[in-house]
Amino acid sequence: MSDKKVLLEIPNLDEKVELSIHSGTLGQEVVDIAPLAKKGLFTFDPGFVATASCESKITFIDGENGILLYRGYPIEQLAEKSDYLEVCYLLMNGELPSPEQKQKFTRQILNHTMVHEQIHKFFTGFRRDAHPMSVMVGTVGALSSFYHDALDITQPEHREIAALRLIAKMPTLAAMCYKYYIGQPFTYPQNDLSYSENFLYMMFSVPSEKWQPNPVLAKAMDRIFILHADHEQNASTSTVRLAGSSGANPFACIASGIAALWGPAHGGANEAVLDMLMEIGDVKNIPKYIEKARDRNDPFRLMGFGHRVYKNYDPRAKVMRETCHEVLKEVGKTNDPLLEIALELERYALEDEYFIEKKLYPNVDFYSGITLNAIGIPVNMFTVIFALARAVGWVTHWNEMVSTPGFRIGRPRQLYTGHDQRDYIDENNR
Ligand code: CMC
């Protein structure tokens, strides 16, 4: 925090209000507008374009320069050298683990990979053809009914065990969503496999056949998890924080985050990208779609392009692009028509003045869909994978908020533009 101040002149109050300017370790300074409320004034910022909702030590994004840091470590280094469980430990604890800490953490996660047998029955209440994200919202929310009475969120150990349970059970639930959808039996976790191998095993193995992990695909899956693990105060994380600010059960809060993630402007974009690439169908149709995206009267947007914070190439998209090539090579799809369309679309968009002027670059979702598709993950599971990976980010933000002394319920205000006060009109006189 700095001691810089800004003076705000309020004409009809005939006085100046002194507002402090806080500076963090990195990034923009923020004006502390809390004293305005005492003067009966609120700020107006729909979409939170200029509002820092909290102080946080977890993740930093420099959107102008395309930088993403988890606890200070660049995403490119973590994607290359680390693994997802180590990244989970880092996000949750603030430091990379020692070998002993890593081993203990992995063991703790493995202890919790199974879900309560009752959850299996819970699944059968869903329609077979329900979108897997709707099932994820329901089943992760249902975890709150298994872990509620004994959970005291004021206790750090209770918060930690809730986080471990969540990270451990997300792959199990995600795979169950898929198995339920395609009518195959649920597969129990195998704890001698790595986190990402275990997920692929629960997704793709069947009781009647032997299953062997593919190290290239497991590594790619792990990288996808790392890239999606956290992204500071995005819509779903802010939703989790807001839900958690009332003191609600953490699993219920995470379910609210999954709901927020589902939309195509957020996590649902990976699904929308693949649908879009299939709709484009051929590189010769690209100019037509670029034209549609530029047309202000056409609601069409190039999915996988643009970001509220990144005004440069999303660093996650760069890593994702490499991983995409590795996976396509492994599965023998180097001439994948969707990749061909994606590469050409990217080339067009990066040279187009509309996209240059609006600083619209590919985001993480642009290449993740093609990669997941090549791994064999069906399109309607893409956002579930995002939710699985983001669970650690959500729960870490929830924990940070709950453990901050004096945290308060989140309660934004509004600019009311409805009716003035009026009297009730009897039914016969309306
Ligand atoms: N295609 C065409 N035009 C676009 C696009 C796009 N993908 N994205 C933004 N624009 C235009 C938009 O029409 C607007 O133009 P104008 O200034 O003339 O009104 C301008 O760029 C600014 O857009 P905005 O909607 O005000 O920006 P935002 O910060 O509110 O929205 C966004 C960010 C990600 C929702 C948006 O870029 C978008 O809809 N992208 C496509 C969906 C997508 O890929 N989402 C995944 C985001 S990354 C993963 C995640 O974080 O979940």
How far away, in angstroms, is 316 Cα from ligand 1 center? 17
Per-residue pLDDT tens over the stretch 189-240? 999 999 999 999 999 999 999 999 999 999 999 999 999 999 999 999 999 9
Element (H, E) at 372: helix 364-375
Q: Tell me, what's the pLDDT at 38?
A: 87
User: Can you give the pLDDT at residue 317?
Assistant: 93
Minimum mean pLDDT range among 152-161, 173-182, 365-374: 365-374
Nearest Cα residue to 123 out of 82, 182, 68? 182
| 192 labelled catalytic | no
Per-residue pLDDT averaged across 411-422, rounded?
Answer: 96
Query: What's the pLDDT at 147?
Result: 84
Whether the per-residue pLDDT at 1 is higher than 70: the answer is no
pLDDT for the residue numbered 197: 97
Confidence of residue 14 (pLDDT cuts 50, 70, 90): confident
Distance of CA 354 from the midpoint of ligand 1 (Å): 12
Classified as helix, coil or strand, 137 is helix
Give nearest CA residue, ligand 1 atom 19. 296
The preferred substitution site among 313, 363, 383 for testing ligand 1, maximizing ligand atoms within 8 Å of CB, is 363
Task: Give the other-Cβ count within 10 Å of 315's Cβ.
Answer: 22
> pLDDT exceeding 70 applies to what percent of the chain?
100
Whose CA is closest to 233, among 2, 10, 52, 361?
52
> How high does pLDDT run on average in the chain?
94
pTM for the complete prediction?
Answer: 0.93
Ligand 1, atom 17, lies closest to the CA of: 358
Q: What angle do CA 12, 18, 21 make, to 5 degrees?
A: 130
Q: Write out the H or E segment, with its range, that includes residue 254.
A: helix 250-261
The strands making up 15-22's β-sheet, listed across from edge to edge, are 4-10, 15-22, 30-31
> Which of 83, 314, 336, 365 is an active site residue?
365
Question: How many whole angstroms from its chain centre is CA 419?
Answer: 38
Say what the alpha-carbon torsion angle 376, 380, 385, 386 is, to the nearest 10 degrees.
130
Q: 129 CB contacts (<8 Å, ≥6 apart)?
A: 181
Catalytic residue at 365? yes
For residue 128, which amino acid is it? Answer: R
Has 266 been annotated as catalytic? yes
Cα–ligand 1 centroid distance for 306 (angstroms): 5
Q: What is the pLDDT of residues 251-303, one digit of tens each?
A: 999 999 999 999 988 888 888 899 999 999 999 999 999 999 999 999 999 99
List own/partner pairs for 293-298 with CB under 8 A and 24 or more apart. Answer: 293/354, 294/352, 294/354
End-to-end CA distance of the chain: 58
Determine the residue of 308, 352, 355 to mutate for testing ligand 1's pocket, defined as the one with the most ligand atoms within 8 A of the Cβ atom: 308
CB burial readout 278-294, b (16+ within 10 A) else e = eebeebeebeebbeebe
Instruction: Dump pLDDT digits (tens) for 418-430.
Output: 999 999 999 999 9
For residue 40, the model assigns a pLDDT of: 86
Smallest Cα–Cα separation from 132: which of 368, 372, 369, 380? 380
- pLDDT digits 0-9 by tens, 340-378: 999 899 999 889 999 999 999 989 888 898 899 999 999
Q: Can you tell me which atom of ligand 1 is nearest the CA of 234? A: 51
Please identify which of the residues 228, 307, 314, 336 carries the catalytic annotation: 307
Q: Pocket residues for ligand 1 (CB within 6 Å)? A: 231, 234, 265-267, 269, 293, 301-308, 358, 360, 363-365
Of 81-90, 100-109, 150-159, the range with the lowest mean pLDDT is 150-159
Measure 303 CA to ligand 1 centroid, in angstroms.
Answer: 8
Please check whether residue 183 is in contact with residue 156, taking contact to mean a CB–CB distance below 8 angstroms.
no
Task: Give Cα 75 distance to the centre of its chain.
Answer: 15
Q: Quick check: 13 pLDDT over 80?
A: no
Name the maximum alpha-carbon separation found in the chain: 80
The total of other beta-carbon atoms located within 10 Å of residue 51's CB is 14
Q: Which of the four pLDDT bands, split at 50, 70 and 90, describes residue 406?
A: confident
